[in-house]
Structure 1
Amino acid sequence: MLGKQIKWTIYILIVILCVSCSVEKPPLEFAPSPSIIEKALTFKLEYEQESLSRQLTQKKLNFTITEINITKIEPIILFNLPTYHLEGNYKIKLSKNTRQNTSVTNTFNLDLQRQSTGKTWRILLQSKEKNSVKYSSYLIY
Structure 2
Amino acid sequence: MLFPRRCFSVALILLLTLLTACGGNTPPKGLAPGKDIVKHAIARQLTLIEDRLTAQLDRVSPTNFTIQNLNIKTLNPVYIADLATYQISGTYTLKLNLPRQEVTQEKNQFEIYLQRQAEGKTWRLLIRDNDFSASNTNENQEEDTEEKVTAWKSYLVT
TM-score range (shorter-chain normalised) is 0.7 to 0.9
Give the aligned residue type for 2:46.
L
Return the alpha-carbon distance in structure 1 between the equivalents of residues 81 and 121 of structure 2: 17
SS at match of 2:121: coil
Return the alpha-carbon distance in structure 2 between the equivalents of residues 46 and 96 of structure 1: 15
* Residue-pair matches, total: 124
Single out whichever of 21-30 and 65-74 deviates more from structure 2. 21-30
Unaligned runs of 5+ in 2: 1-16, 134-147
Structure 1 runs of 4+ aligned residues shifted over 6 Å read none
Unaligned runs of 5+ in 1: 1-15
Counterpart in the other structure of 1:103: 104
SS at match of 2:90: strand
Return the alpha-carbon distance in structure 1 between the equivalents of residues 27 and 53 of structure 2: 35
Counterpart in the other structure of 1:63: 65
Return the alpha-carbon distance in structure 2 between the equivalents of residues 60 and 85 of structure 1: 28
Query: So what's the TM-score if we normalise by structure 1?
Result: 0.79
Counterpart in the other structure of 1:112: 114
Provide the identity percentage. Answer: 35
Are residues 21 and 78 of structure 1, via their aligned partners in 2, closer, same or farther at CA, if it must alter by over 3 Å? farther
Is 1:90 the counterpart of 2:92? The answer is: yes
Counterparts of 1:1-141 in structure 2, within 5 Å, are 20=21, 24-58=25-59, 59-97=61-99, 99-105=100-106, 106-128=108-130, 129-130=132-133, 132-141=149-158
